[in-house]
Amino acid sequence: MNAPVRFQSLTVSGLEIRAGNTTIVRDVAFTLSHGRPVTLLGASGSGKSLVAHAIMGSLPSGLSARGIVKLDDDDLLAGSPTQTRARWGRTIAILPQEPWLALDPTMRIEGQVGEIHRYLHGLGPAEAGKSMRDDLAEVGLGDRTKAYPHELSGGMCQRVAIAATHAAGASLLIADEPTKGLDAALRDGVVDRLREEVDQGRLLLTITHDIEVAAALGGMIGVMLDGSLVEFGPADEVLDNPQHEYARALIAANPTRWPALALPTAGEPIVSATGLSKRFGERVLFDGFDIAVRRGEIVAIVGPSGCGKTTIGNILLGLVRPDSGEVQRSPGIAATRFQKLYQDPPAAFAPHQTLRQSFGDLLRLHCLAWAQAEASMRRFGLGQELLDRRPGEVSGGELQRFAILRALLLDPVFLFADEATSRLDPVTQKEVFAILIEAVRERGLGLLMVTHEAALAEKIASRILKLPA
Amino acid sequence: MKRLVLARLLQAGLVLLVVGILCFVLVRALPGDPAMRIAAGRYGPDANITEAAEAVRRELGLDRPLLVQLGASLGQLARLDLGHSVVTGLPITKELRIQLGATLWLSGSALMLSLLLGPPIGLLAGLRRGGWVDNASLGGAIVLRSLPPFVLGLVLILVFAMLLGLFPPAGYGAWRDLALPAFTLALGLAAVSSRVARDAVAAVVRTPYFAFARLKGLPEPVVVRRHVLRNAAIPVVSYLALQAIYLIEGVVVVETLFGIPGIGHALVHAVIARDMPMVQGTALAMGLLFVVIAMAVDLACHWLDPRPKRA
Amino acid sequence: MSIADATLIPTTKRAWLTPARTTGLVLLGLLALFALLGPLLVSVDPTEQDFAASLASPGSDYWLGADHYGRSMLARLSHGARLSFGMALLTVATAAVPGILLGLLSAWRGGWLERLLELVSTVLLALPGLLLVLILLAFAPGTFGPLYLGLALTLWIEFYRVTRVTAAGVLKQTHVEAARLLGFGTGYILRSLVLPEIRPILITLAAFAMSTAIIAISTLSAISVGLRPPTPELGAMIVELLPYYAEAPLHVLMPGILIFLLVLGLQLATRSDLG
């Protein structure tokens, strides 16, 4: 059931968000209307999510918003908390990030959609049940009304959340990182669904870090950096001819726009494996898999999540034993010259040690000098002051550069990068890969990368191995 | 669900084994003739003890290897053949049947009272973290946790029985007699369950599904009723399995302090009198009561949480 | 609420030494002084009787008064505090050392050792701890041996389990895998990566075990199966004075207050939920 759309436009001007006396978001202005959705792009920490919550009126306690946010003639920031609250669901709805976490795990989805008709619109149980079934049928879940969230896929949970916003009857939809944690196929499904919402006449504001999502949604694109909106314009203009320096860097950081990479011819094989097979319980991850990584080449393994990509790298490193198959390393090379980069940079460092402690211990173990580490730090643009912080107090991008630096100190011949940039923003991702490519070129390092991003693999890998789901 | 029941039945078997083996070892390690003790345990103190002891020695073959004797003794225990009290000479199963009533009344009313006190306070504290209910209940919980049940019971006796004369200080019969002992246990239990409930509610309040339920537009009371209560109840209820330990231990102490003729009271007196068959019987009964409570808790959790269980 | 921009929002860091923790540590320090120095400074024998001073109120002759036998309450309380502290420390040390070592070993090696220890702890945990202690006490009521053995036997399990679970959790973490790949050995990993992460929880656990031991010893003495008069044990003192509650309610409560302060101090010093 789709409630009639009652609003024509959302106007934001001079929006400012403060934490106590500190202004953390400033000068945000944009207009959003029928058929012209707005997408805010930016790295995490750029303030884009805060803008969404300021419009919704759901900022965390301690934060306050000032400026003008108008839905037609209705000033959203001017009202009392009760008025703000009364708009939730009925007028503005938020599509949560990671919807499988945003649904109550102990309640069937029929209850989670039906309760909106029952308690928001005051329908009787029978009517509410009928409307709920219509809502779920409309998003293609008519036969799954009795399911619990854990019995549904991520994409299905996303559709339950959409059905909930339809039930509430909101005209303005705010999608907060709607594709976070979804792989490429599911991501396209969500984007299609959002486009449909626009076609049905709803106002749509999307928050994302994914340029592909912004491009597919069209309409207007805004780019945020450090709490400011640095660029705003029609999607094709922003994507093809960005004005602001950061916007240019951000657009250029999209792997499809990276310059072509030419590596010298690869050398002899460093590590190879034949006939690998591995199963987890009943499920066969792969069977009879062959792989070889040579000096000075980049090999990529791509495939959807859960297909066993990481396991192959771990087998080559000796961290996981294959059920069958052989791994050969080229002889006479120390075990510590086979290294790994992790997906979640903070997890790769002991949380209670400062970086100075971890690096000090490593240098002492391998009889290396601080000068060597410091030289690399300067080269990678890492300041000395970062050494006295713990991993949790350093940004993901900086920490991943520290992780590369740590691996390179041991003069590796083989490096396994396990989704090493998937948690980083595009600009940082590009910087990290620049360092890695340089190491491949200069040291003849063999790089094995695992990724779910096909575009990234196609751009830089010498060879691509695809794993099926 | 079958696995849950099976695991607890296994635990009941272990209780039997631990109590049986310990008592077996102790009876044989105690100074004096074990045949004499067993004879007294079986036929009561009035029997012709020397003759009976000889009969027992022959019958049980106390000169047989110890392991064989242990097997026979555990076999008896498994058939719930608990023997006779050395002190009163009565069959232990009969004594336990009478004592069980008092113990169930006390532990049941203490548990109910604690559930009426703890979780509701925890809910209020968790919804308004840092509010006065939260701070006051944290202070109260810390004070109560610092008081052993017997000191708490003593303070309650001094205040309510001696000073105010509201309740009798000891005795058993009317509900008024149960009020102070049940309250003593309930306060100790509620001190913990209120904090567990508070943390559980606070954890639910931080979840994305709580935020989404509010952003869907549901009124606050509906969000609390439909999305907070059940989810927060899961850790509170599963924690009750641990609280059952406090309850059982507390029952032993409180029954003794207030003179309630329950199993715990009997256990303490049997220990003082070194009435080993009675120690074995009462410890077994308390141990099994603990298992029954824990099993009820498991089943309640299974019903509350539809998600598949890990391992 | 999860907001992706959390890094933008300024955070305040909480100091380790919170007011509650300071209060707890000061309280524990004072009680430890009372327990250690009290028996030296008050050179009165806690068992020396003076019937003329029976149930004397706190005053100049007896700072905290005297009990029904005219024994100095101050002397008895300080000896009681020393006894409680001492017995609890001994019991907890006996439980903690093997518990932690076996937990580390079990997390590191796994295999049959872990399965065996799991079985032993499951068997011991099947019965509430106090029942186990009571059964052991039937062997020799009123003595410290079975009390100590029974308490240590139940308390080590908690140290073992917590150490095993948290250490296994740390060992599974990515940074430990990274450390192995970087060439660090077992010793370094256990000493520098695992121990610092499990230390805070072990300290909390030790305080909790201390409280449990203090409460259990005094409780069992109060129900006449633990230590017995004339030993100046705090729980036993309460029961001994109980018949005189009408004349001297403060005397009855004093040992209780001391137990309360001991456990309160331990809680305040180590609980993580206090601001």
Read off the pLDDT of residues A198-219 as tens digits, 9 standing for 90 and up.
998 889 999 998 888 999 998 9
Question: Is the domain of B236 the same as that of B263?
Answer: yes
Q: Which chains touch A (3 or more CB pairs under 8 A)?
A: B, C
- Residues A227, A51: Cα–Cα separation, whole Å: 9
- The single-letter code of the amino acid at C17 is L
Question: Is the domain of A54 the same as that of A107?
Answer: yes
Q: Which of A24, A74, A72 is nearest to A48 (CA)?
A: A24
Question: Pick from A253, A279, A311: which residue ends a domain?
Answer: A253
Q: Is residue B55 situated within a structural domain?
A: yes
Inter-chain touch A119–B219, beta carbons under 8 Å: yes
Question: Is the domain of A220 the same as that of A302?
Answer: no
- The domain containing residue A337 runs over which residues? 269-466
Inter-chain touch A102–B208, beta carbons under 8 Å: yes
B155: exposed, middle or buried (C-beta count within 10 Å: 0-12, 13-18, 19+)?
middle
Q: Is A123 on the interface with B (CB under 8 A)?
A: no
Q: Is residue B252 situated within a structural domain?
A: yes
* Domain harbouring B224, CATH code: 1.10.3720.10
Strand partners, A30: A12
Question: Pick from B78, B107, B132: which residue ends a domain?
Answer: B78
Residues in B closer than 8 angstroms to A88, CB to CB, are: 214-217
The reported pLDDT for the residue numbered B281 is: 87
Question: Pick from B44, B78, B112: which residue ends a domain?
Answer: B78
Mean pLDDT of the region A257-283 = 85
Mean pLDDT of the region C204-232 = 86
Q: Is C5 on the interface with B (CB under 8 A)?
A: no
Question: Is the domain of B106 the same as that of B74?
Answer: no
Q: Which of C10, C175, C192 sits opposite A22 (nearest CB)?
A: C10
Question: Pick from A226, A253, A280: which residue ends a domain?
Answer: A253
* Domain harbouring C264, CATH code: 1.10.3720.10
Q: Which of A114, A207, A130 is nearest to A168 (CA)?
A: A114
- Residues A412, A445: Cα–Cα separation, whole Å: 7
Q: Which of B121, B234, B154, B216 is nearest to A164 (CA)?
A: B216
Q: Which strands, in side-by-side order, build the sheet including A92-95?
A: A74-75, A63-71, A9-19, A22-33, A228-234, A220-225, A38-41, A203-208, A172-176, A92-95
Question: Cβ distance A1 to A166 under 8 Å?
Answer: yes
Q: Before B277, cis peptide (omega within 30)?
A: no
Question: Is the domain of B101 the same as that of B73?
Answer: no
Q: Which strands, in side-by-side order, build the sheet including A324-329?
A: A283-294, A269-280, A324-329
Q: How far is B14 from chain C (nearest CA, A)?
A: 6
Inter-chain touch B155–C253, beta carbons under 8 Å: yes
Interface of C with A (CB under 8 A): 1-5, 7-10, 173-175, 177-179, 181-184, 188, 192-193, 196-197
Q: Which of A227, A347, A366 sits opposite C175 (nearest CB)?
A: A347
The reported pLDDT for the residue numbered B308 is: 73
Least CA distance to A116: which residue of chain B? B218
Residues in A closer than 8 angstroms to C175, CB to CB, are: 347-351
A304: exposed, middle or buried (C-beta count within 10 Å: 0-12, 13-18, 19+)?
middle
* pLDDT mean by block of 10 residues, chain B; 311 residues: 83 85 79 68 64 71 74 79 75 86 90 94 92 91 90 86 73 72 92 92 92 91 93 90 88 88 88 82 87 88 77 38
Q: Which of C173, C184, C193 sits opposite A365 (nearest CB)?
A: C184
Q: Is residue B48 situated within a structural domain?
A: yes
The reported pLDDT for the residue numbered A232 is: 93
Asked whether residue C34 carries a pLDDT value surpassing 90, the answer given is: no
Mean pLDDT of the region A280-287 = 83
Q: How far is A199 from chain B (nearest CA, A)?
A: 22
Question: Is the domain of B47 the same as that of B122?
Answer: no
Inter-chain touch C192–A353, beta carbons under 8 Å: yes
Question: Is the domain of A69 the same as that of A188?
Answer: yes
Question: Is the domain of A347 the same as that of A440?
Answer: yes
Q: Is residue B109 situated within a structural domain?
A: yes
The reported pLDDT for the residue numbered B41 is: 61
> DSSP per residue over B232-255, as a string?
HHHHHHHHHHHHHHHHHHHHHHHH
Inter-chain touch B208–A101, beta carbons under 8 Å: yes
pLDDT band at C9 (very low <50, low <70, confident <90, very high): low
Under DSSP, the state recorded for C6 is: G
Question: Is the domain of A171 the same as that of A201?
Answer: yes
Q: How far is B304 from chain A (nearest CA, A)?
A: 8
Residues in A closer than 8 angstroms to B209, CB to CB, are: 101-105
Inter-chain touch A106–B306, beta carbons under 8 Å: yes
Question: Is the domain of B127 the same as that of B42?
Answer: no
The reported pLDDT for the residue numbered B274 is: 79
Q: Is residue B90 situated within a structural domain?
A: no
Q: Which chains touch C (3 or more CB pairs under 8 A)?
A: A, B
Question: Is the domain of B127 the same as that of B276?
Answer: yes
A/B interface, count of CB pairs below 8 Å: 76
Q: How far is A18 from chain C (nearest CA, A)?
A: 9
Under DSSP, the state recorded for C127 is: S
Tell me the two tokens of residue A124: 């009787």
Tell me the two tokens of residue A78: 């001017």
pLDDT band at A449 (very low <50, low <70, confident <90, very high): very high
For chain C, how many residues are written?
275
The reported pLDDT for the residue numbered C1 is: 38
- Residues C275, C264: Cα–Cα separation, whole Å: 15
Inter-chain touch A101–B307, beta carbons under 8 Å: no
* Domain harbouring A178, CATH code: 3.40.50.300
- Residues A200, B33: Cα–Cα separation, whole Å: 93
Domain count, chain B: 2
Asked whether residue A264 carries a pLDDT value surpassing 60, the answer given is: yes
The reported pLDDT for the residue numbered B173 is: 63
Q: Is residue A261 situated within a structural domain?
A: no
Q: How far is A163 from chain B (nearest CA, A)?
A: 11
Q: Which of A143, A139, A144 is nearest to A108 (CA)?
A: A144
Q: How far is A397 from chain B (nearest CA, A)?
A: 26
Inter-chain touch C128–B22, beta carbons under 8 Å: no
The reported pLDDT for the residue numbered B113 is: 94
Asked whether residue A15 carries a pLDDT value surpassing 90, the answer given is: yes
Q: Which of A88, A90, A164 sits opposite B214 (nearest CB)?
A: A88
Q: Is residue B91 situated within a structural domain?
A: no
Q: Phi/psi of residue B225, each to 5°?
A: -65, -45
Question: Is the domain of A410 the same as that of A281?
Answer: yes
Question: Is the domain of A435 the same as that of A295?
Answer: yes
Q: Which of A49, A53, A348 sits opposite C178 (nearest CB)?
A: A348
CB proximity list for B304: less than 8 A, separation 6 or greater: A106, B230, B233, B234, B237
- Residues A268, A8: Cα–Cα separation, whole Å: 64
Inter-chain touch C223–B274, beta carbons under 8 Å: no
In a mutagenesis test of the B interface, which of A97, A103, A106 is the best target, namely the one with the most B β-carbons within 10 Å? A106
> DSSP per residue over A449-469, as a string?
EEES-HHHHHHH-SEEEE---
B/C interface, count of CB pairs below 8 Å: 143
Question: Is the domain of A294 the same as that of A351?
Answer: yes
Under DSSP, the state recorded for C8 is: G
Asked whether residue A23 carries a pLDDT value surpassing 60, the answer given is: yes
Convert the pLDDT of each residue in A143-152 to its tens digit: 999 999 988 8
Q: Is A178 on the interface with B (CB under 8 A)?
A: no
Tell me the two tokens of residue C190: 């256990």
The reported pLDDT for the residue numbered B190 is: 94
Q: Is A285 on the interface with B (CB under 8 A)?
A: no
Assign residue A308 a region (left: φ > 0; alpha: ψ between -120 and 50; beta: otherwise): left
Q: Which of A64, A142, A37, A91 is nearest to B216 (CA)?
A: A91
Tell me the two tokens of residue A383: 């300041």
- Residues C96, C89: Cα–Cα separation, whole Å: 10
B99-108, B256-265, C169-178, C245-254 — which is least confidently predicted? C245-254
Q: Phi/psi of residue A283, each to 5°?
A: -80, 130
Domain count, chain C: 1
The reported pLDDT for the residue numbered C249 is: 79
The reported pLDDT for the residue numbered B21 is: 85
- Residues A355, A399: Cα–Cα separation, whole Å: 9
The reported pLDDT for the residue numbered C140 is: 78
What value does the mean pLDDT of chain C take? 83
Question: Is the domain of B56 the same as that of B116?
Answer: no
Q: Is residue A258 situated within a structural domain?
A: no
Residues in A closer than 8 angstroms to C197, CB to CB, are: 351-352
Q: Is residue B279 situated within a structural domain?
A: yes
What value does the mean pLDDT of chain A take? 88
- The domain containing residue C109 runs over which residues? 74-269
Inter-chain touch C135–B143, beta carbons under 8 Å: no
Question: Pick from B78, B113, B145: which residue ends a domain?
Answer: B78
Inter-chain touch B26–C139, beta carbons under 8 Å: yes
Inter-chain touch C215–B154, beta carbons under 8 Å: no
Burial A83-100, CB ≥16 within 10 A → b, else e: ebbebbbbbbbbbbbbbb
Asked whether residue A436 carries a pLDDT value surpassing 80, the answer given is: yes
Mean pLDDT of the region C75-98 = 90
Assign residue A321 a region (left: φ > 0; alpha: ψ between -120 and 50; beta: otherwise): beta
Q: How far is C195 from chain A (nearest CA, A)?
A: 11
Question: Is the domain of A173 the same as that of A135?
Answer: yes
Least CA distance to B232: which residue of chain A? A106
Least CA distance to B258: which residue of chain C? C223
Inter-chain touch C263–B155, beta carbons under 8 Å: no
pLDDT band at C92 (very low <50, low <70, confident <90, very high): very high
Q: Is C63 on the interface with B (CB under 8 A)?
A: no
Tell me the two tokens of residue A285: 């991850």
Beta strands in A7-106 (DSSP E): 9-19, 22-33, 38-41, 63-71, 74-75, 92-95
Q: Which of A94, A97, A101 sits opposite B209 (nearest CB)?
A: A101
The reported pLDDT for the residue numbered A1 is: 43
Q: Is residue C102 situated within a structural domain?
A: yes
Q: Is residue B263 situated within a structural domain?
A: yes
The reported pLDDT for the residue numbered B118 is: 92
In a mutagenesis test of the B interface, which of C134, C157, C158, C242 is the best target, namely the one with the most B β-carbons within 10 Å? C134
Q: Which of A47, A53, A362 sits opposite C182 (nearest CB)?
A: A362
- The domain containing residue B66 runs over which residues? 2-78
Domain count, chain A: 2
